[in-house]
Chains A and B, each alone.
Chain A
Amino acid sequence: MSLSNRGFGITLYRIPRWLRYSLATALAIAALAVALTASAALDSNAVRAAVNGAIHAQQEDSLPPPAYTGGPMSSAIQASITAEGTKDLDNYFAGPELAARLGTLQDNIKQQASGETLYLGAGVTGIEISDVQINGDDATATATADVWATFGQVQDGGKIVTATPTNSMNYSFTLSRINGTWYVVHERITFAPGSEP
């Protein structure tokens, strides 16, 4: 005689039907919640990755190839910066914001073209992404970061005087999921208070 037959065990057929249905429903809801939570986490990570990539791309894509050491910038070098920058920006931006980013890239190239001001390096440190909000295929996020760049002024006799400013920036992003990938479709960048030039 099994314990269950003696009434000490719990077997499914002894659980009232209404309770079995309730348990099954609860389990299904829990599983769905776990799946949704995992999906939201994945979405949040994807949004964060897009924001992180966008901040790096827009800060670092204006640099000339290492072979360029100053003087009037040839059209070939300008085309090279344009091609590489466009490729990178295209990974993180879409719509009018992509057009705006490409415009800024061109402005940065023009600024170097005369050879008076050299772009010698650039980067981002301390990116902090916060307040990620996802609603379907739309999302918003805010971020802070420290950006730096090394510039050179070519002075008389070819002497290059460098400067490496660092500024703390505040960002706010609007993103859209397009064909499964998150892109920045609008961005606002401001200097953190006290970090203006």
Chain B
Amino acid sequence: MNYEPRLMDAAPRAGNRSLRARSLIAAVAVSLMTIVFISPVAAYNPANAAAYADLWWHSRNSAYKNFDPNDCTNFVSQSLHAGGYPFQNDGGSNTHYQNWFIDSLPFGQWNWSHTWSVAPDLLNFLYYDSPGGSPIAYKAPLQGGTSGGSTGDVIFYDWSDSQGVSHDAIQVAYGTDPVSGWVGSLVDAHATDHRHAIWHLRPYNGNLASITYITVVHVSSSN
């Protein structure tokens, strides 16, 4: 028995082609909209990452787990993801250095990789992910106005307190730090929340007994 609709039988061959083309265009459009509006954009867009950081610098996005008082890396990871850096091996091992993700589970539970929330693990992830990020500047002890990085890059801090890298921030602009008045590359950060703070944080660090070692990691826009 032939169940093919009569309408199709009646439609001219050229009309069929037109219908298929329109369906294909619609499918592509829906896919693009899905990519644009539901998941992060395919390529890392530093401006989008910076915009997210500026939006959430002093509040916590309930779409993510809150890691306070150590929310710095979670905040940087959120910003990277908002900029289009895709999850890597979502749902995989929490401790593998090449996995980077966070997932909301039922009943307020979360599943996340250490690379998402722990500063040295994020540094390691960016270093080993491909194209990931690449260290472009190690700053110690010179701390001029410019970090050597650009908007959307990640800056890691080692306070020389025997803990190694323990803090990070995302570079968001170049200009004047509204709190200190210092001019240079600016970052947003959580933990001690900062918006547009001068990248080396010298105006916020009165401790002269320890040198801050800083690693600037350029995040590839190909991610």
Q: Report which A residues bind B (CB closer than 8 A).
A: 55, 58-60, 62, 104, 107-108, 110-111, 114, 116-117, 119, 122, 147-149, 151, 153, 155, 161, 163-167, 169, 188-191, 193-194, 196-197
Contact = CB atoms under 8 A, between A and B. Distances in A.
A156 to B, nearest CB: 8
Nearest to B161: A190
A153 B182 contact: yes
Interface of B: 69, 140-145, 157, 159-163, 167, 180-183, 191-192, 201-212
A188 B180 contact: no
B167 A111 contact: no
Contacts, number: 103
A46 to B, nearest CB: 22
B203 A163 contact: yes
A189 to B, nearest CB: 5
Given A111-B142, A191-B159, A58 B209 contact: yes
A55 B209 CA distance: 8
B208 A188 contact: no
Contact of B202 (A110, A114, A151, A196): A151
Nearest to B159: A191
B180 A161 contact: yes
B204 A197 contact: yes
Contact of B203 (A58, A60, A165): A165
A9 B192 CA distance: 78
B56 to A, nearest CB: 19
Nearest to B167: A196
Given A155-B183, A188-B162, A197 B192 contact: yes
Contacts of A117: 143, 202
Given A193-B69, A196-B191, A197-B201, A166 B206 contact: yes
Contacts of B210: 104, 189
B167 A122 contact: no
A167 B206 contact: yes
